[in-house]
Chain A
Amino acid sequence: MTVAELLACEVVDANGDVVGEVHDLRFERRGAGAAAGYHLHYLMFSSGSVFRRLGYGYGEMKGPWALMHALRWLAAHRGWAVGWEHVTRIEGRRIHIDMPVSACRSILDLTGGD
């Protein structure tokens, strides 16, 4: 599998609704020494934002003011993160998760955008 097969997939939540598209993946380093590896931890998905890749979910982005606030708002209200363990199945370009979108974390919890 490659990340291209996960990115831009639609996310379907426990209610059966399409709630967004995967726009980034968080990996976490686990293990030590030669056994250390980066494990897929969260899928980040969002809806309604065309500028997903610009980095505005992150606290390091400092402007321009209007753009930053608009995209931050989208990240806060239309961006979610869901743990990989909540993925139940992947069908083609659709990823099903076992919880409703309302129970997912906000993306800003992960990326430190505040």
Chain B
Amino acid sequence: MSKLASITLGILTAIGGFLDIGELVTGSLTGARFGMSLAWVVVLGVAAIMLYADMSGRIAAITGRAVFDIVRERLGPRAGLVNLVASFLINFLTLAAEIGGVALALDLASDVSYLLWVPLVSLLAWVVIWRLPYQAMERVYGLMGLALIVFVVALVKLHPSWSGLWHGASHPTVPTGEGHPTWFYYAIALFGAAITPYEVFFFSSGAIEEGWTRKDLAESRANILVGFPLGGALTIAWMALAAVVLQPRGISVDHLGQAGLPVAFALGKVGVAFMLVGFFAATFGAAMEVTLSSGYILGQYLGWSWGKKLRPREAPRFYAVCLLVLFGATGLVLTTIDPVKLTEYAVVLSAVALPLTYFPILVVANDRTYLGDDVNSWWMNLLGTGFLVVIVVASAAAIPLMIATKAGL
């Protein structure tokens, strides 16, 4: 494959890979309640994940160390274990939410209850993880996820007041009738969805799976610089759809079906078909990334062989963890817990646990023993420190706000 084709494919994959159940739920939910007033959070979140994905990818390509390698060595076994348990729990909730999302998309497409789809979805996820090669897996769902461009098409078709949307986004104010705590609570949820921990686990471990070296960094940067912002743009389009269609009618998003109403309204059945394909791909792809991430982080903390490029008999503990996590998360969805609520909790808790992951990344990205001349430049450190401060504040505020607002009611 030519270099250009490979880069294009990588970028397309990154767009589909960025969006998952977190963005789909929080984007629509906040658009319907707060209009465009939280769009800035998506921009902030995209910028933060770009920077930290770059750092973790660079560390992985140059040293062969993934994120939880450096968590263990820089935080030590105790704080490392705290992070491991927290990240594992969040992964677990996120995985259940993604599986629920896939099943809901199939439910909407088929009128067969999502609960019946759940076991099938999990089985399919397992077969893909067990048998499908790494790159094929990533690319198939990444490209299918591009169907979500239907968000942009739908928005254009609705002829919204662009200046109104822009004004709402560039002059963020809390809408009347909503309290500041609720607004900030959903800001944290949206932020947590953009930078949820599994993304850096998967990005750095994936770099090692694909055998990146220093000379792959330019291509990785291209993916990050183009793919993530386009993924963010789709999220904002999705938010704008809710702001244009749902907010004026006072429709709140309690179900993925309501989130899809604007697309149905603008484009009819064909639009809905594209949207559901996109939903399916984005959530299914994320389900596999989260599953693998659970195996990655435990394997890295304990020094196991890990990776999908290894066959099950070469990395049995890794595959066993993936299987057990998938099994457990399926059980959690089958309790009929609301997948939308589950997503909200997962993204807010993401924000809580993030400092313990991002901090060691920032530290090692400055260690010349590890990276030589490829350590962070001063502006990366400036931005990285800034984002870390934001993340620490969000982390500290998340639980109090969750209690104060009764989780956003």
Chains A, B in direct contact (C-beta < 8 Å): yes
Chain A interface (Cβ within 8 Å of chain B)? 53-55, 58, 60-68
B206 at the interface (CB under 8 A from A): no
Alpha-carbon distance between A58 and B366 when the two chains are bound, in angstroms: 11
Asked whether, in the complex, the Cβ of A65 is within 8 Å of the Cβ of B368, the reply is: no
B205 at the interface (CB under 8 A from A): no
Asked whether, in the complex, the Cβ of A65 is within 8 Å of the Cβ of B367, the reply is: no
Alpha-carbon distance between A21 and B406 when the two chains are bound, in angstroms: 43
Q: Residue A54 contacts which of B363, B375, B378 (CB distance < 8 angstroms)?
A: B363
- Determine the chain A residues whose CB is within 8 A of the CB of B378 once the complex forms: 63, 65
Chain B 362-375 near chain A by CB (<8 Å), digits 1 or 0 = 11001111000001
B330 at the interface (CB under 8 A from A): no
Asked whether, in the complex, the Cβ of B75 is within 8 Å of the Cβ of A65, the reply is: no
Alpha-carbon distance between A60 and B369 when the two chains are bound, in angstroms: 6
Given contacts A63-B375, A63-B376, A64-B376, contact A55 B385 (CB under 8 A): no
- Determine the chain B residues whose CB is within 8 A of the CB of A65 once the complex forms: 378, 381-382, 385
Q: Closest chain B residue to A67 by CB distance? A: B385
Alpha-carbon distance between A62 and B378 when the two chains are bound, in angstroms: 9
Taking the nearest CB of chain A, how far is it from the CB of B48, in angstroms? 15
- Determine the chain A residues whose CB is within 8 A of the CB of B76 once the complex forms: 53
Chain B interface (Cβ within 8 Å of chain A)? 73-76, 360, 362-363, 366-369, 375-376, 378, 381-382, 384-385
Asked whether, in the complex, the Cβ of B75 is within 8 Å of the Cβ of A63, the reply is: no
Taking the nearest CB of chain A, how far is it from the CB of B65, in angstroms? 14
Asked whether, in the complex, the Cβ of A64 is within 8 Å of the Cβ of B368, the reply is: no
Asked whether, in the complex, the Cβ of B366 is within 8 Å of the Cβ of A63, the reply is: yes
Alpha-carbon distance between A98 and B220 when the two chains are bound, in angstroms: 55
Q: Residue B384 contacts which of A54, A60, A64 (CB distance < 8 angstroms)?
A: A64
Asked whether, in the complex, the Cβ of B74 is within 8 Å of the Cβ of A53, the reply is: yes
Alpha-carbon distance between A66 and B381 when the two chains are bound, in angstroms: 10
Taking the nearest CB of chain A, how far is it from the CB of B383, in angstroms? 10
Asked whether, in the complex, the Cβ of B368 is within 8 Å of the Cβ of A55, the reply is: no
A-B contact count (CB 8 A): 44
* Overall SS of chain B's interface: helix
Q: Closest chain A residue to B372 by CB distance? A: A60
5 A-B pairs with the lowest CB-CB distances in the bound complex, closest first: A64-B381, A60-B368, A63-B381, A64-B385, A60-B369
Asked whether, in the complex, the Cβ of B369 is within 8 Å of the Cβ of A58, the reply is: yes
Alpha-carbon distance between A67 and B392 when the two chains are bound, in angstroms: 15
Q: Closest chain A residue to B79 by CB distance? A: A53
Given contacts A62-B375, A65-B381, contact A53 B75 (CB under 8 A): yes
Given contacts A60-B368, A61-B367, A67-B363, 8 further A-B contacts (CB under 8 A): A54-B363, A60-B369, A61-B366, A61-B368, A63-B366, A65-B381, A66-B385, A68-B366
Taking the nearest CB of chain B, how far is it from the CB of A35, in angstroms? 29
- Determine the chain A residues whose CB is within 8 A of the CB of B368 once the complex forms: 60-62
Alpha-carbon distance between A25 and B368 when the two chains are bound, in angstroms: 21
Asked whether, in the complex, the Cβ of B381 is within 8 Å of the Cβ of A60, the reply is: no
Alpha-carbon distance between A67 and B355 when the two chains are bound, in angstroms: 15
- Determine the chain B residues whose CB is within 8 A of the CB of A61 once the complex forms: 363, 366-368
Alpha-carbon distance between A65 and B384 when the two chains are bound, in angstroms: 11
Q: Closest chain A residue to B370 by CB distance? A: A60
List, sorted by A's number, 8 A–B pairs whose CB atoms are closer than 8 Å: A53-B76, A54-B74, A58-B369, A60-B368, A62-B366, A64-B382, A64-B385, A65-B378
- Determine the chain A residues whose CB is within 8 A of the CB of B362 once the complex forms: 64
- Determine the chain A residues whose CB is within 8 A of the CB of B369 once the complex forms: 55, 58, 60
Q: Closest chain B residue to A7 by CB distance? A: B76
- Determine the chain B residues whose CB is within 8 A of the CB of A54 once the complex forms: 74, 360, 363
- Determine which residue in A53, A54, A61 has the highest number of CB atoms from chain B within 10 A of its CB, and name it: A54
Taking the nearest CB of chain B, how far is it from the CB of A6, in angstroms? 15
Alpha-carbon distance between A73 and B47 when the two chains are bound, in angstroms: 31
Taking the nearest CB of chain B, how far is it from the CB of A4, in angstroms? 10
Taking the nearest CB of chain A, how far is it from the CB of B229, in angstroms? 24
- Determine the chain A residues whose CB is within 8 A of the CB of B75 once the complex forms: 53
Q: Closest chain A residue to B362 by CB distance? A: A64
Given contacts A61-B366, A64-B362, A68-B366, contact A55 B74 (CB under 8 A): yes
Alpha-carbon distance between A64 and B363 when the two chains are bound, in angstroms: 8
Taking the nearest CB of chain A, how far is it from the CB of B76, in angstroms? 5
Q: Closest chain B residue to A71 by CB distance? A: B363
Taking the nearest CB of chain A, how far is it from the CB of B108, in angstroms? 46
Q: Closest chain B residue to A55 by CB distance? A: B367
Alpha-carbon distance between A39 and B66 when the two chains are bound, in angstroms: 32
Alpha-carbon distance between A62 and B366 when the two chains are bound, in angstroms: 5
